[in-house]
Structures are given as structure tokens and as C-alpha cells.
Structure 1
Amino acid sequence: MHFDTPLFLCGPLRQPRQMLADQEYSGHTSIHDDAMAEKLGFRAGPIEGPTHFSQFVPLLAHLWGDAWFERGCFSAHFQNMVVEGESVRAFVELATPGARRARAWAEKADGTPVLEASASIGPDHGTSLLEQRLAQLRPPEKLVILSDLHVGMTGAQDEPVRMDANQHMGKLYPFSLNQKLARITENSPWYSDGTSSPWGRAIIPLEMISVLAGYTTPLAQFPVKQPVVGLFADQELRMVDGPLFVGEDYLIRREVVALSESKRTESYWVRSRIYDKSGERLKAEMLLNHATLKQSFADYETLRNAG
């Protein structure tokens, strides 16, 4: 018997933990600080978007097995912020056998959307959700905070990076991998015990690839005017030759691939390419929409209207 009924995988309700309350960049607290968030009109400091990615990993591993960790791509648009104490559930479309792409999304317990996403397995991913969104962007009318950036701008240097189990990941991510694993919503021995992993090495969790790629961001020296508060609006993590390993040296190269604006934000989209330490073999990529809040920049309207 055949039905056209769409079916979905879903995980349990989880309460992700806030670990960025002490985050600092450019000398000031971030939107993840409750006081700063409230000052900007938000209820409380939100949980960082990629934290939710962990809830999808068991579902995607169920669909695609080890290949998910080697060639998977998760491409997400964040819709509503989550604060600590709220419950979230992940959903993935139950793709037909042999399918290499699935729709994914997360909701709060009351059905409020948290994010929408495409999940796919490479090397041929088709067009990801964020590639669709990039193609639909309109050029910004006038940028103030990002007026010194241009599409095609690259980071100031190659950025050596690694993640050891007990390494503090800096002011942007004031915790270590082991501290994250004590609070992560979906833990696996593969993240800490190399002997249990199919690759014989401990692998970096999907949400922590964002941390690895963000660790050396200041070295790119993109000329964003400060002080300003930003947030992640869209993020794609794509494994090319994965997984990435704990305690392994990598090299990151960055490029501004788009500029855009909305009523509340100016955005710069950066593609960060993660190579092996020689810089020759591409291992993974992150596409990130850094959305800077106009209202957080002093005299924004005056500067925008001048000249």
C-alpha cells in the first residue's frame, strides 16, 4: 500500500543551556548578556543559534549514517530567539530511500518556530537554504556600520586554529569543549573518546564547528565600525572532507560574500573555509550572516542621513 503522506523524524524536547552570558567582543558585552539584550528590546540574552544544531545530529545520523559526519551540510535561517529554560524540539523530514536532501526545522514547546533549515549529504548538495536566501538578497541602500566592507574582501591573513578538549575558546566563546560536553543536549562518546569513533579520533560536534571557526575571527580584521552589537541571523556548516578532529591543526581563510540590510540590521555574510594545516586540502566551510543591530550603534540615523 502506498501513501503520499509526508513523514518526519523528531527528537525529544530539550532545554539548551546558555553559555555565552560572559561573551565579550570589541571590549563590550554581547547580546547574550541579559542586560545588553534587554537594553536592545529583547526579553533576555538568547541562546546562541548553533547550540540548536546538536539536536538535529542524531536524526541526520539516522538518515545518513557516518556519511553525515563526513559530507553533511546543515543550512539554517534563525527565526526566533530561545532563552534558557525554554524547551525546543528538532524535526527532520523523513526522506525517501536514497534521497540526499531533507527539510529540517526546530520549534519551541508551544509551536513557535526557532529555525528552518535544509540538510543534505554531499558532494552534490544541490542548492542549500542559505544559497537560496543569498540569491534573493537585494543590494543594501546605504550602509553605515559596514560602509568600509565590500563583497570579495578577504581576511587579513590565514588563521591557524585548533580545538583541544580543555582549551578555553576565548572571549567570543568563554568555555572549553569539555565544558560544552557537560551541557550539550545530545552527547556522544565520539566527541571525547577517539577509540569509540569510526575514525579513531574524537570528533568536534557540529555546534562546536561554529566555535572553532569563530575562535580566530578578530584576525580577519574586517573593518566593521564599533562598538556595535551583532547576532547570527543565518548559518551554514558544510563538511567537505570531514569530520573535523579534536586536537588537530587547521587553517581558516575568510571572504565577504554578500552585504545586505533590513529595517533593524546591516549584515555581512562571510564564508570561512577550513583547511588542513598545510592550507591545501579543504575540510569544511561555514557561511555566516553577521547581522549588526542598527540601534546599537551610536548616532546611526544621523550618520545615515548625513551626506
Structure 2
Amino acid sequence: MDAADTFVAEERDGILSGPVRRPVNVSRAAEGSIHDDGTAQALGFRGGTVAGNIHMEQFPPLMVARFGSAWWRTGGLSLHFLHATTDGEPVQAFVGRPESGAVPRAEAWMETPEGVRVCEGTAWLGGDDPNSALRLKLAAARPAAELRILASAQVGDEVRDVPSRLDSGPALVRLDGVTEPLPEYRADKVAAPAVAIDALRAVEAPLFRSQGEFVGLFGAIELQFLAGPVFLDRDYLADGRVVGLSESPKTEIAWYESVLREADGGRPIARLLMMSRLLKASSPLWG
């Protein structure tokens, strides 16, 4: 990023906005995934999608501008993804004025220049927020009537002590495509949001035993720092638990929570609440 692209937050009527950015579809070479143009278009999308965790990397400068650097230690960002974008499409991130209360909470969202909402939710500082955007959605989710891809999963399934480590080599190379490459990502080896989320996703493989082939995409992500930030080149352990299973006419929906702990001492560092959508049209079980 050159000087002309330096982050500058603007405020109008209590709303902070960041610059318009063009996120890169870093997984576009992953054949058979929702990020692959051919696969995505066959499933009715305009093209390979930019992952939701990549969009989250546009928010940290706004979080710091709104809540201060303490956001990296005890802050949270909870987003529901509404509109899939493709490689290089322009988007802009916003955060509103925090509400007064025990946990300062603000609206957060992203939209296209035409005003189409890409994602929306909440951000906050300090402690748990039982009324975050995703906690409320999870509470309102109806249990699934029929699951085929996720037939073997049950609410309450859990795994513990899953090793997780973020090596700096690939993580630092990936910074070339990050929309807001903050200095601490390189200087202090702080994990950018999408990378930190990868550490928390270490529980997915042992937690879920899906049936057959399918294509999935992120429906919503909540990242909360408990004693953050998450760092590269450190050993962690992750615990995971299935907290919800629901469905829509086109998707099976899995909700899980993951907590990342220090491998030495066990101190909780970060928490993830993830909602993933498994596309029925991509599975022969729904053929």
C-alpha cells in the first residue's frame, strides 16, 4: 500500500467510514469451491466469491478509530453476510456510534458504492456481548427438520485440545493482498482477522463428519478477543462445540463455537462463533 492508499476514516452524523477498497478473492484457484468461478457460477452466483473472513480484514482500522487499540485485546466483531462479492469489486466499511451500556456496542456494516449491503452486524469492546448480532440470530434459529449432509452432527458435539499454530511464512506473504495491512501485522506478528479465524477453525475437521461432497460458504462470523491479539508463530489449543443446526430452502446450516487457548497455561485468547451454509444444490444427497 503506497501513501496514496493510507487509511483515513471519515465521520459524518456519528458514522465512521473507511476508504473504498477492492478485496481480492485469495482462494480463486481452489477448484470445486465457492471461490472458483466455474463452481460458483454453476450454483447460481455471479462468480467466485470473496470469503467473508477476507471482508472482515477491512474493519480493524475502524475498530481502533472507534474503540481504541484496546479493541485488539477485548473487542469483538459480529457480521452476517448478505451479498456475495467477486474478485476486486469495490466495497466500503462503516461503524456507527456506540450505544451506552455495560458493553459499548455499535452497528457495523459494509456496502457497495450502489448501497447494497454486503454484511451487517455489531462491534463492541470489553467482555461478552450476549446481544451481539450473531448471538441474537443463533437464539432465533429454528432447529433443522431434515439434514442430509450434516446428518451425523448433533448440537452439543465437542472437541478439545486441537493443536493450532499460525506460521508466519504464508501469513506474511498473504499480507500483500490484505485491504488494510496494518503495521503490527508485520512488525509484531499480530494475526490479521482472517488468519486469526483460521486458527480458531482448527476444530472444524474433527468436529464435523459431513456426508459426501458439497460446497459451502461462510454465512456469518463473530470474532471476539478475550485476551488478544492472536499472534503468528505461537502454539495454541482450540476447543470447539456445535451450538446449532438449522436449514433454509437452499442450505443446511451449521453453527459452532471455538475458543483458542495458549498451549502453555491454557489462557483463553479468542473466541469464534461461526455459521456456515452448505449448499444443497452442490450435494448428490439433495439431487
TM-score with structure 1 setting the length: 0.85
Whether 2:236 is the aligned partner of 1:250: answer yes
- Post-superposition offset of 1:299: 4.1
Partner of 2:29: 22
Partner of 2:125: 121
CA RMSD after TM alignment: 1.8
The within-5 A match list for 1:263-302 is 263-278=249-264, 280-300=266-286
- Post-superposition offset of 1:6: 4.8
Shift of the 182–216 alpha-carbon distance from structure 1 to 2, 3 Å rule, reads farther
Larger Rg: 1
Asked whether the 8 Å contact 1:251–1:279 carries over to 2, the reply is no
Whether 2:149 is the aligned partner of 1:145: answer yes
Partner of 2:177: 183
- Post-superposition offset of 1:279: 6.4
Deviations 1:202-237 (A, max 9, x none): 21112221222235632x151111201111001100
Percent identity, aligned pairs only, is 36
Partner of 1:198: none
TM-score with structure 2 setting the length: 0.91
Listed as ranges, the gaps of 5+ residues in structure 1 are 167-175, 195-201, 302-307
Shift of the 23–210 alpha-carbon distance from structure 1 to 2, 3 Å rule, reads farther
Deviant stretches of 4+, over 3 Å:
96-99
Listed as ranges, the gaps of 5+ residues in structure 2 are 1-11
**Alpha-carbon distance in structure 1 between the residues aligned to 2:265 and 2:136:** 29
Whether 2:227 is the aligned partner of 1:241: answer yes
Shift of the 215–22 alpha-carbon distance from structure 1 to 2, 3 Å rule, reads farther
- Post-superposition offset of 1:96: 6.3
Whether 2:184 is the aligned partner of 1:193: answer no
Whether 2:35 is the aligned partner of 1:35: answer no
- Post-superposition offset of 1:89: 0.2
Asked whether the 8 Å contact 2:158–2:207 carries over to 1, the reply is no
Partner of 1:159: 162
Amino acid at match of 1:226: G
Partner of 1:209: 196
| SS of residue matched to 2:284 | coil
State the number of aligned residues.
Answer: 275
